[in-house]
Amino acid sequence: PTRLEDAPVYIDYDVSDRIATITLNRPEAANAQNPELLDELDAAWSRAAADSEVSVIVLRANGKHFSAGHDLKGGGPVPDKITLEFIIEHEAKRYLEYTLRWRNVPKPSIAAVQGRCISGGLLLCWPCDLIVAADDAQFSDPVVLMGIGGVEYHGHTWELGPRKAKEILFTGRAMTADEVLSTGMVNRVVPRDRLDTETRALAEQIATMPPFALRQAKRAVNQTLDVQGFYAAIQSVFDVHQTGHGNRRDDPDDRNDDHQFDEGESLVFAMLYHGSPSIDCPGAIQFMSST
């Protein structure tokens, strides 16, 4: 644990002018989220939340892609037989509790997203209060191809509205930055080479506002969503997600059920790769071939 706080490997952290900048720094793997990256990311969020010198939090990513999703390898010993209990325990902490905690940090946050943002990648940008997308950003959640009805944290319906939520899930296709702008999922779309400067300018503008009022404004919106059922729905659909994992385990024809984790191979990518090699998912393919 001390290693994560003292010298993070996958996360860069910087504070200047009341803005904390958290950077995903695993570009060689398209910022795939292994457990260490997520633990370091959670530590960075906690640090920014606790620091009275920080008014605004920016989450950005190094490299071509924001994040290609989850990567199970590296989270300690993986049992020979992956049980549903193991999956739920792993996912409840890192894909549900972390995401909700980041969403509830009482300071404004802004995600800057470029390139691919696939499945678990959504769990990093959705909890941010604002999202600035580069014009090359593409958002997708192709897990129906893996036999599962959507990634663990069901932001889809809240972010996209019910019809677009169904479309992104039913088709598995990537939606462009302009397309999700029209649903209100992102605040603005900027040229790729302006992503950092535009995000920084927005953060600087917000950082001039009174911190306590910002906190109350954020709470007003989040509390409204919670009264509408956001929190209960997120918890409920997490369990729906787990029935997907359970069903896959019960399917005798599913060759992925007893998949052994090879060196450098991830759960999600292995499933994507074996389940649908033709899927348009270059971040994943790039990761597979680089290991």
Find the shortest distance in angstroms from Cβ 242 to Zn ion.
7
Nearer CB in complex with Zn ion: 127/150: 150
Shortest CB 152 distance to Zn ion, Å: 5
Summary count for the chain: helices (H), strands (E) = 13, 9
Residue 245: CB minimum distance to Zn ion, A? 6
Q: Who contacts 263 (Cβ-Cβ below 8 Å, separation ≥6)? A: 291
CA atoms within 13 A on the CB side of 279: 27
Beta carbon of residue 198, minimum distance to Zn ion (angstroms, whole number): 33
- Indicate the residue among 39 and 152 with the shorter CB distance to Zn ion: 152
Q: What residue ranges bind Zn ion (CB under 5 A)?
A: 91, 152
Closer Cβ to Zn ion, 40 or 91, answer by number: 91
Amino acid at site 207? A
Contact by Cβ (8 Å): 6, 62: no
Which residue lies nearer to Zn ion by CB, 152 or 159? Answer: 152
Phi-psi bin for 71: left (phi > 0), alpha (psi -120 to 50), beta? Answer: beta
Identify which of residues 47 and 249 has a Cβ nearer to Zn ion in the complex: 249
- Please report, for residues 142, 149, 167, 176, 194, the alpha-carbon distance to residue 170 in angstroms, rounded to integers and kept in the order given: 8, 9, 5, 16, 33
Burial code (b: 16+ CB inside 10 Å, e: under 16) for 235-247 equals: eebbeebbebbee
Q: How far is the CB of 95 from Zn ion (least distance, A)?
A: 7
Pairing of strands 109-113, 116-118: unpaired
